[in-house]
Amino acid sequence: MIPQIGDTPKMLSALQIKNAPPKKKPYKLSDGGGPHLLISPKGSKLWRLKYRYLGKEKLLSLDVIQTSVLQKQGRRENPHGK
């Protein structure tokens, strides 16, 4: 799909990331803006970025998502916990 002018990808929310369940095989969650979140069968979550450099495909691991960080982020998005 070719993005159109004015199309902006919708970012993944902290709630979507927190509630992403582990499955039998690793899978990706993406907002269409570049980086994607890899969810492992054990439930760990890792930000990754696939790109090309000098014609070769590269994969960069950016950060591991920790549950405590998501809980703090969730409180900021929904301060009353509802």
Write out the chain's pLDDT in tens, 82 residues.
455 555 666 788 888 888 899 999 999 998 777 788 999 998 889 989 888 899 999 988 887 876 545 555 555 555 555 5
Q: For residue 45, which of 9, 8, 70 has the smallest C-alpha distance?
A: 70
Q: What is the pTM of this model?
A: 0.64
CATH topology (fold) of 22-77: Double Stranded RNA Binding Domain (3.30.160)
Task: For residues 45 and 37, give the distance between their C-alpha atoms in angstroms, rounded to a whole number.
Answer: 6
Task: For residues 36 and 31, give the distance between their C-alpha atoms in angstroms, rounded to a whole number.
Answer: 7
